[in-house]
Amino acid sequence: MRRSLLITALLAGAMTCPVQAHAAAACTWQGTALSLPNSQNGSVTATNGAGTLAGYGVLTTVPTSVTHLVAWRNGAYTDYGKPDAGYASSPQAIDKSGTVVGTSRFSYMAYLSKAIRAVPGKKVEFLPQFQDYAYASANQIADNGDIYGWASKRTAEPTIGLRWPADKPGTVEQVPGVANPVAIDHDGAALTSTAVVRGGVSKKLGTLPGLTGIDPQDISNGRVVGVGDYNGKPVGLYWDQQLAVHVLPNSSYSTYTGYSGFAINRNGLITGRVDEAHGGNDHDGTGYGVWNQGAFVSTFGDLKHDYPGVVGEDGVVGGARYDDNRKAHPYSWRCG
């Protein structure tokens, strides 16, 4: 699961879509609007790969807009709410049971945030704070139930890796050897700006002659995606399970908007920005495509309005569709 600071806000060789990678080029990504009652805007930011999507909705039914954690399953909408005093909540991961973890911000101007957990049918709760690290985010639920994230003492200070162990409720511990993590894999391995740290052992990300400005963004099943500049051209990047780097063909990223939008699932399917020769717009940061373990498959959805963000092993992509007024609407897509 990728890092979203401490509070912001795809699909493989055997994906459950049910299309194989060699057939995906002929398919069309069909978008479906997800219900979001009483909301100004929202987006999907997490998937459990088994039919449930999670995201946020900015409600309009209160005097001051407040962001709630929300989820969708089989078209049904669930409002998880928010923690007491939380200003804006954002889910970062959801597991098969429907438990959501993420972060909640407490000030519009200052990014004071705390790690949160939401269990279906229960009130959103704060996860235990580690020592005097006041700013925290929960970003992944590992396959064994452990929750992983990071924290810092102040917003401008380096972050440390954290784990909330499933077998020790109410506790939190520092993950050794992890500094400034960018994203967390399903086994708890941490992606940093230069390496993958698994079990305290760091393995550097590979590079290429002519490759500069490397910015890794997401990790899943040991594979990594991100962006960089290759011989002066902005490109998307893919690191295989041996962490050898590959330039994604027909890819790009926006140097204007600061949003690159590359993501990967466990099977190695990737979504990210396409270059202008394939319908992308580097200035606006629009136009997305799909890659299968580094090989280009097709463009994605509406090139001007669709922003894919996460994808599950069930072949469902979640994200947002922006209307002409730049209002985000939560969407899901299937390949068909």
* Phi, psi of 267, rounded to the nearest 5 degrees: -85, -5
Whether pLDDT at 23 is above 60? no
Instruction: Kindly list the domain boundaries of the chain, sorted by start residue.
Output: 21-335
H or E stretch covering 229: strand 223-230
Rounded Cα distance between 250 and 267, Å, is 21
Question: What integer best gives the mean pLDDT of the chain?
Answer: 88
Dist CA 326 CA 336 (whole Å): 27
123 or 240, greater pLDDT: 240
Write down the architecture of domain 21-335 according to CATH. 7 Propeller (2.130)
Phi-psi region of 257 (alpha: psi -120 to 50; beta: other; left: phi over 0): alpha
Q: For residue 23, what is the enclosing H or E element?
A: helix 21-24
Distance in angstroms (rounded) separating the CA atoms of residues 294 and 292: 5
Q: Which amino acid is at 217?
A: Q
* pLDDT at residue 27, rounded to an integer: 75
Residue 276 CA, chain-centre distance (Å), reads 24
Q: For residues 112 and 300, give the distance between their C-alpha atoms in angstroms, rounded to a whole number.
A: 35
**7 vs 79, higher pLDDT:** 79
Q: What span, in angstroms and rounded, lies between the C-alpha atoms of 42 and 332?
A: 12
Summarize pLDDT for 281-335 with one digit per residue, the tens. 998 899 999 999 999 999 999 999 999 999 899 889 999 999 998 899 999 999 8
Distance between CA 61 and CA 82 in Å, rounded?
A: 14
Yes or no: say if 39 and 221 are a contact pair by the CB < 8 Å rule. no
Residues in the chain, total: 336
pLDDT higher than threshold 70 for residue 17: no
* 123 contact partners, CB below 8 Å, separation of at least 6: 81, 83
Check whether the bond before 18 is cis (ω within 30° of 0). Answer: yes
State mean pLDDT over 137-153.
Answer: 96
Q: Is 21 helix (H, G, I), strand (E, B) or coil?
A: helix
Nearest to 242 by CA among 213, 268, 205: 205
How are the residues of the chain apportioned to helix, strand and coil, as percentages rounded to the nearest 5?
A: 0, 50, 50
Give the model confidence (pLDDT) of 49-80 as tens digits.
999 999 999 876 666 677 889 999 987 999 99
CA distance 51 to 315: 9
pLDDT at 297 (0 to 100):
94
Task: Tell me how crowded residue 118 is: count the other CB atoms within 10 A of its CB.
Answer: 28
The whole-number pLDDT of residue 105 equals 83
Please state, as a whole number, how many other Cβ atoms lie within 10 Å of the Cβ of residue 234.
Answer: 18
pLDDT for residue 154: 78
pLDDT of 72: 96
pTM: 0.90
Whether the predicted pLDDT of 4 surpasses 60: no
- Dist CA 226 CA 218 (whole Å): 7
